[in-house]
Amino acid sequence: MGRIVAGIRTSHVPSIGGAYDRGRDSTPAWKPLFDAYVPVRAWLKEMEVDAAIMVYNDHGADFFFDKYPTFAVGCAESYAIADEGFGVRPLPVIPGDLAFSQHLCRSLVYDEFDITICQEMRVEHGFLVPMHLCFEHGESWPVPTIPIAVNVLQHPLPTARRCHRLGQAIGRAVASFERDIRVAIIGTGGMSHQLTGTEFGAMHTENDLDFLERIESDPDSLLQLTHQQLMEKFGVEGIELIMWLVMRGALPDNVRRIHRNDYAPMTTGMGLITLQGDA
Amino acid sequence: MGRIVAGIRTSHVPSIGGAYDRGRDSTPAWKPLFDAYVPVRAWLKEMEVDAAIMVYNDHGADFFFDKYPTFAVGCAESYAIADEGFGVRPLPVIPGDLAFSQHLCRSLVYDEFDITICQEMRVEHGFLVPMHLCFEHGESWPVPTIPIAVNVLQHPLPTARRCHRLGQAIGRAVASFERDIRVAIIGTGGMSHQLTGTEFGAMHTENDLDFLERIESDPDSLLQLTHQQLMEKFGVEGIELIMWLVMRGALPDNVRRIHRNDYAPMTTGMGLITLQGDA
Amino acid sequence: MIQQLERDARVAGSDVFDLSTSWRGYRINKMCNALSQAQNRDACARDEEAFMAAYSLTDDEKELMRKRDFPGLLAAGGNIYFLIKLGVVTRNGLYHMGAQMRGESYEQFLSTRNQREAV
Amino acid sequence: MIQQLERDARVAGSDVFDLSTSWRGYRINKMCNALSQAQNRDACARDEEAFMAAYSLTDDEKELMRKRDFPGLLAAGGNIYFLIKLGVVTRNGLYHMGAQMRGESYEQFLSTRNQREAV
Ligand SMILES: [Fe+3]
Ligand SMILES: [Fe+3]
């Protein structure tokens, strides 16, 4: 049986990817962000993770509104790097774990989650930024990773509670897998941001800190929030935070916090929190 | 508020479409099938239906295994006729009801169904055969119709119980719609058939009759059947019958049967049953 | 959660098309899926070898296709609904494929039907 | 079932991108979606009018595009993540679009940021 041993929540702001590709991780503006992930990478290495599950959203790289899934799960041997509109970033292809994906899909569907199963899936900054923040790579990545894409673009979005339930179902799927694998789950997106309207760039740092606190100690208080309430607290695009709830649902109730960071240089609260589930 | 006033379950065998297009509905081999729908069309006209919901499956016309949804709901002003591999059939484009579709999608997602929302969708024999069996058309169709596609091709499929629950959720969505529309729901596919292996063409007429009986009088007894059990009774491709359960879930518990027919000329049990829900 | 299917389930002598089959047959089914478009049907009819190569079929898969071995294509992961599109292009209707699966001639197969005129 | 969103909800002076918006903006977003491919970016840069026509933009939508009116494109149903692709081709980065939405110059907008070098 598999075990979820590590949980990570992190922003996936695309400009982090740009800074990374241009080697700007040590500039004064970016150092506070990149430095926070150095111990995270060391910790993940120590945790000897066999596979990762990346809960993210596509921002129009591989899905269009002709056929827009609520939850899409990767089920392939590997995942190509998408062209988001400015060419393909120089990153290695993402290795998958086909048998684990197939088990995950079977378990989720029989558990009454109506996922879209993707045997071809190209991944983009929502997935890639957390990937290169959390894992080192040379020619290849150290762990196979399963993409799970959540609709946070086109309302109706899945409710906060449904996201948490998806996480719980992922936890059951991992526990019933035949191989004894150690799994990390990463919930990405947010924190507060608003990318449209006259309040473009508005951040809500108080609310971000409150969310960081609650997701660790009192996740239940977040599950009853409606999308309207969440957007009023975190901005229209800050609704991405519902993806952190998937990750929270997959972890055991009692977790130990390992790292925490927040940084808000431009238009988005860049939060980070890691939780260890083997307490 | 909307009301579901009519429920129809019917096979959607593609050869019915071929016979229809070639005007062979009065040949000895086809007359017993086509004649059964004459009173159904008259009844549906009498029922003054404002919209139809077609629960069907795509057989590879508009969805591929690169991204395969469990449940896909049409959300467009109209739906084109797909080319299934032999050209586009001479049928009018299917009119949709955009506002009703949008309401249905919102209601289903907030009700924790993880549908794929389709603003472009081309429909094929699974949808079209029931359409021209149940409705007359000249240049256009008499009612707007919403397609709901169910994965019955690539296991894991949604469970029988999940299909029934989807039907119940559709019922709630119709009831909460702002317009007083009268809705027909059509569940298609089956009955027994096997299109692969050494038992190609095997039918199970006894089991088909039993299913026709149970879906009318005791649908609960069908909900606990696994896919394995269903396939053993109805053949590998007979699993399509789970789509009839969606339709059953959408109707009130107490329904009155109006029509019933079964005919098994070649390789598939062609069943028909209609239920009136305003009893 | 109730398991719906035994591992590698076979029902009535037939494989069940599940995610493992789907992955195995991905190239074949992707090629067949393209046959929903007229220009691809033309391309396939014009130069089948080039068409197969464009979809990266393996040598074994190509050989099954050349032999019109539909049971073999199914065993290689082909999905029957996608193979039907290949049947249109290669003039092998579903009932011809079915007869082949049963190890019968088309005539033999038709003689087992209740209404053989309902083709 | 708990309703998640008020009808025609606006949050912090912004529309929420829902199914109604998505349908209204379908042509714009479909055009922008094509810009994920290099040959379409070239086609757009080469002949923007022909590119817009190929995606059946209405006259009003074309005019918004010609004026690089991003608030207008949003109001017409454009989705910000798809408009960003248009921004790449037309050399209007997200922060330029944002400044326009706020009714500020790019410089004014940057001066409101905590770390303006983190662009
Ligand atoms: Fe994002
Ligand atoms: Fe069918």
Tokens of A242: 């519902």
- Pairing, β B270-276 against β B3-10: antiparallel
Of all ligands present, the nearest one to the C-alpha of B60 is 2
- Asked whether residue A278 carries a pLDDT value surpassing 70, the answer given is no
A125 is catalytic: yes
Tell me which H or E stretch contains A9.
strand A3-10
Interval D42-99: pLDDT, tens: 999 999 999 999 999 999 999 999 999 999 999 999 999 999 999 999 999 999 999 9
Rounded to whole angstroms, the Cα distance separating C79 from B196 reads: 9
Q: How confident is the model at residue A253 (pLDDT cuts 50, 70, 90)?
A: confident
CATH 3.40.190.10 holds for A3-276: no
By Cβ distance, the residue of C41, C81, C101 closest to B198 is C101
- Domains of chain D in sequence order: 17-111 (1.10.700.10)
pLDDT in tens, C82-109: 999 999 999 999 999 999 999 999 999 9
Q: Rounded CA gap, A76 and A73, in Å?
A: 10
Determine contact: A176 vs chain B, CB below 8 A: no
Best probe of the B interface among D2, D7, D19, by most B CBs < 10 A, is: D19
Q: Which of D35, D38, D80 sits opposite A196 (nearest CB)?
A: D80
| Three-class secondary structure assignment of chain D | CCCCCCCCCEECCEECCEHHHHHHCHHHHHHHHHCCCHHHHHHHHHCHHHHHHHCCCCHHHHHHHHCCCHHHHHHCCCCHHHHHHHHHHHCCCHHHHHHHHHCCCHHHHHHCCCCCCCC
The span from the CA of B158 to the CA of B150, in Å, is 8
Task: Give yes or no for residue A244 having a pLDDT over 80.
Answer: yes
Residue A279 pLDDT greater than 60, yes or no:
no
Which residue bears the tokens 């290849």? A140
User: Is A193 a residue of the active site?
Assistant: yes
For tokens 């109001």, what's the residue?
D75
Q: Residue B166: which of A229, A109, A251, A270 has the closest Cα?
A: A109
Q: CA-CA distance, D12 to A233, in Å (whole number)?
A: 10
Chain A contacts of C17, Cβ < 8 Å?
Answer: none
Query: Can chain A be said to touch chain C, i.e. do they have 3 or more Cβ pairs within 8 angstroms?
Result: yes
Domain boundaries in chain A?
Answer: 3-276
Nearest C-alpha of chain A: how many angstroms from D72?
10
Q: What is the amino acid identity at position A84?
A: E
Chain D contact for B107 (CB, 8 A cutoff):
yes
CB contact under 8 A, B117 and A67: yes
Question: How far is residue A125's CA from residue A134's CA, in Å, rounded to a whole number?
Answer: 13
> Residues with Cβ within 5 Å of ion ligand 1?
A 189
Judged by a CB distance cut-off of 8 A, whether residue B33 touches chain A is no
- Chain-centre distance of CA B90, in angstroms? 21
pLDDT of residue C119: 82
- Give the helix/strand (H/E) hosting B271: strand B270-276
CB B127 within 8 A of CB B150: no
Catalytic residue among B125, B132, B164, B204: B125
How confident is the model at residue B278, as a pLDDT?
A: 63
pLDDT tens for each residue of A99-111: 999 999 999 999 9
Contacts of D115 in chain A (CB under 8 A): 28-29, 265-266
Give the residue from A75, A77, A104, A119 with the most C CB atoms within 10 Å of its CB, the best one to mutate.
A119
Question: What does pLDDT average to over chain A?
Answer: 95
Asked if A204 and A192 touch (Cβ cutoff 8 Å), the reply is: yes
Kind plus residue range of the DSSP H or E element containing A98: helix A98-110
pLDDT score of A226 more than 90? yes
Give the largest CA-CA distance in chain C.
50
Ligand 1 centre and the CA of B73: distance in Å?
Answer: 25
Distance CA A131, CA A140 (A): 12
Per-block mean pLDDT, blocks of 10 residues, chain B (279 long): 94 94 94 96 96 98 98 98 96 98 98 98 98 96 98 98 98 97 95 95 94 89 96 96 95 89 91 83
Q: What are phi and psi of B233, to 5 degrees?
A: -80, -35
3-state secondary structure of B85: coil
Neighbors of chain C by Cβ distance (3+ pairs < 8 Å): A, B
Give B2→chain C minimum CA distance, Å: 34
The C-alpha atoms of residue A138 and residue B99 are separated, in whole angstroms, by 51
In terms of DSSP H, where are the helices of chain C?
Answer: 19-24, 26-34, 38-46, 48-54, 59-66, 70-75, 80-90, 94-102, 106-111
